[in-house]
Amino acid sequence: MNHLRRLLQYLRPHVSTLILAMLCMVVVAAATAGTAFVIQPILDDVFVAKNEQALVILPWIVIAIYTTKGVAYFGQGVLMAKTRHSVIAALRSDLYTHILSLPMTVIDRQGKGQLMSRVTYDVLTIEAGLTMLVTGAVRDLLTALFLVALVIYRDPLLAFYTLIVFPLAMMPVVIIARRIKKIAQQTAQNMGMLTSRLEETLGGIRIVKAFGMQRHEAGRFRKMVDELARLGIKTETYNTTSSPIVEMFASFGIALVVYYGGSNVIAGTTTPGNFFSFLTALLMVYEPVKRLSTFNNKMHEGLAAADRVFAIIDSPPETNTGQRLLNRPTGDIAIKGLRFAYPDSKEEALKGIDLTVRQGEVVALVGASGSGKSTLANLIPRFYDPQGGSIEIGGVDIRDMELESLRGGIALVTQEVILFNETLHENIAYGRDDVSPEQVRAAAADAFALEFIEQIPERFEALAGERGGRLSGGQRQRVSIARSLLKDAPILILDEATSALDSESEAMVQQAIDRLMVGRTTLVIAHRLSTIRHADRIVVMQRGEIVEEGKHDELLARNGAYAGLYHMQFRAEQAATS
């Protein structure tokens, strides 16, 4: 219930709208009871007493009741829709904003699919539960109260005996709601897995097709949707159980009314109009009660989704307690005794790394896959925090720096280029609101991207497509380099920026990279050793440790680990071209 209170906190800015909607609901409930109330004078005054004056007045009263009810129903519907959508927009925005602030360890552990499911599926489930709670449940509760008041007014004793079945009917409904909440948790977990699988297969559709795995992936997907269908059927089975239970108990109350009320009419102790008004109100009160049982189930589904959403919102954001700003010029990068292990790994990825990168120096990190190169690069912008040791820039520990200032001074160009489905101008100017079209154009020219951009009819207004899918690999990389040029950060990290490109694209991208590195402290992670021959220093890593350090020619002369990597790669390239 704590999470229900938190959800209701989102209603606070909309209290005035909510009050108006509630007033409309009261009118709807009163008008509904009024339709049952008017049965008595219609039967007794018109059909029994044959009162002509009542015959003239009562039809207008009926029209007034239904007109008032219709206007009020429309009003509460519009007002509640406005409130509901505003609340859900605020909740979804808060959730997304917090996800962006989460540490990478939490994002890695949760998985992108699960996080996407929280923002989409779970928020939609909360919306459905909130709709039931603040619209249907409140309206039906008010309607039931007005109808119960009418039943008591018509015959208090008979009302007591017939309404006593309600608590008995609600007991199994409460038990069913608890079971539905557990199923809703399983459904959300499976929906997150389904989203993850969908993202992976569509993102890697070329691999799926290349390996002929369409049928295999379709089979895996079918198993997942079959499990979701099983849970959905189970949920609906429980949902449809609630209504028959209420009706079964209601039948005993109605049977008692027919027998006892009919006896009183025959005995002359009550009028037919009073009896049928009572019976009509009683029949009408069971409908909102039945719906309330369904609302209870939906509300528990929504609360289960709220548990998962608030679990994300309550996750601590990235630690950002630093007060210092990154200086320009930055000074040296000093890595001292750095140790790091990923959360689910028993082995350290970095084992006491000591390295100094002097200001303006180009240092290349080389080594086999899993040697710790990318891990080391990811610790400099504080995507992760080490378990031991420190990284200092200009003599200041990066944990003492304000995160935005630290990352604002680092440009990152990776093998997997991330472009957004926005215009090329927006992608190049990403993170900079203060740049002119001329500056964007100059950055594109420096990155050798201007030529292909001007061949596109829309030029800088052309959409890059999802993940830059409308551009070739080399074009995406040059747009990424233009983005880094425009950022003008003093520290540059190149993480295998050319390894996925063909020779022609690599040559052009390498020219752009050479231009980007001028005047910057650069850390280069390279797979192709030919691209880092002219680095000021080459650092060789193995299993999380630095094993060699020096210039290209020096390392070759030592005939150590670097020479082994170089000759192995050289032979592989020779074999590929022969």
- 125 vs 494: CA distance, rounded Å: 42
Rounded Cα distance, 241 and 239, in Å: 5
Diameter over CA atoms, the chain: 119
Tell me the two tokens of residue 140. 């039906």
Output the CA torsion 224→226→232→237 (10° steps).
-150
Asked whether residue 77 is assigned to any structural domain, the reply reads yes
Listed residue (69, 83, 85) closest to 25, CA to CA: 69
Identify each DSSP E strand in 369-526 by its residue range: 388-393, 396-397, 410-414, 491-495, 521-525
Determine contact, residues 448/476, Cβ cutoff 8 Å. no
Domain closes at, from 313, 342, 363: 313
* One-letter amino acid of 34: G
Domain contains 562: no
- Shared domain check, 442 and 302: no
Per the domain annotation, does 294 fall within a domain? yes
Integer angstrom CA distances of residue 483 from 408, 418, 429, 432, 488: 13, 11, 6, 9, 9
Question: Which residues contact residue 381 at a Cβ distance below 8 angstroms, ignoring those fewer than 6 apart?
Answer: 406, 407, 410, 412, 493
In a domain, 123, yes or no: yes
- What single-letter DSSP state applies at residue 368? S
- Predicted confidence at residue 499, as pLDDT, reads 57
Residue 498 tokens read as 């050319």
Pair (238, 111) in one structural domain: yes
Composition of the chain by helix, strand, coil, percent to 5 = 70, 10, 20
In the chain, the amino acid numbered 90 is: A
**Does residue 559 belong to any structural domain of this protein?**
no
Task: Please tell me whether residues 97 and 237 are part of one structural domain.
Answer: yes
Residue 429's CATH number? 3.40.50.300
CATH of the domain at 219: 1.20.1560.10
Location of structure tokens 């790394």: 353
Q: Which segments within 436-528 are labelled E, that is strand?
A: 491-495, 521-525
Domain check: are 143 and 289 in the same one?
yes
Residue 360 forms part of a structural domain: no
The verdict on 164 and 16 lying in the same domain is yes
Is residue 130, in this structure, part of any structural domain at all?
Answer: yes
CA nearest neighbour of 305 among 134, 114, 139: 114
Q: Which residues of 465-504 are buried (b: 16+ CB within 10 A; e: fewer)?
A: eeebebbebbbbbbbbbbbbbbbebbbbbbbbbbebbeee
Return the pLDDT at 64. Answer: 92
Residues 6+ apart with CB under 8 A from 8: none
CB distance 497 to 414 below 8 Å: yes
Please list, residue by residue across 69-96, b when 16 or more beta carbons sit within 10 angstroms of its beta carbon and e when fewer do. beebbebbeebbeebbeebbeebbeebe
Report the 10 Å Cβ neighbour count for 532.
20
pLDDT lower than 50: segments of the chain: 575-576
Q: How far apart are CA 374 and CA 499, in angstroms?
A: 14
Run of H or E including 538: strand 537-542
Instruction: Give Cα separations from 384 to 321, 322, 332, 414 (angstroms).
Output: 15, 15, 20, 17
User: Which among 66, 80, 74 is positioned nearest to 136, based on CA atoms?
Assistant: 80
Distance CA 73, CA 143 (A): 12
Last residue of a domain, one of 296, 313, 330: 313
Distance of CA 288 to CAs 76, 234, 292, 399, 499, Å?
17, 24, 6, 58, 65
Quote the number of domains for the chain: 2
State CA 335 to chain mean position distance.
36
- For 437-490, how does the pLDDT look when each residue is reduced to its tens digit (9 = 90+)? 888 888 888 887 888 888 888 888 888 887 777 887 778 888 888 888 888 888
Identity of residue 544: G
Q: Please give the pLDDT value at position 243.
A: 65
**Domain boundary residue among 298, 313, 328?**
313
Q: At what angle do helices 156-163 and 138-154 cross, to 10 degrees?
A: 140
Kindly give, in sequence order, each residue whose CB lies less than 8 Å from that of residue 156, ignoring residues fewer than 6 positions away. none
Q: Which among 252, 189, 197 has a CA at the least distance from the CA of 222? A: 197
405 with 354: CB under 8 angstroms? no
- The verdict on 421 and 296 lying in the same domain is no
Name the token pair of 353: 């790394």
Residues 302 and 430 occupy one common structural domain: no
**What is the Cα–Cα distance from 180 to 305, expressed in whole angstroms?**
12
Is 276 in the same domain as 415?
no
- For residue 390, being part of any structural domain is answered with no
Q: Roughly how many angstroms between the first and final C-alpha of the chain, as a whole number?
A: 71
Cis check: omega of the bond before 381, within 30 degrees of 0? no
Give the structural domain span for 473. Answer: 410-488
Token pair for residue 50? 């044959």
What is the predicted pLDDT for the residue at 71?
Answer: 92
Amino acid (one-letter) located at 388 = G
Alpha-carbon dihedral angle through residues 402, 403, 405, 411, given to the nearest 10 degrees: 160
SS3 133: helix
For residues 32 and 70, what is the distance between their CA atoms, to the nearest angstrom? 10
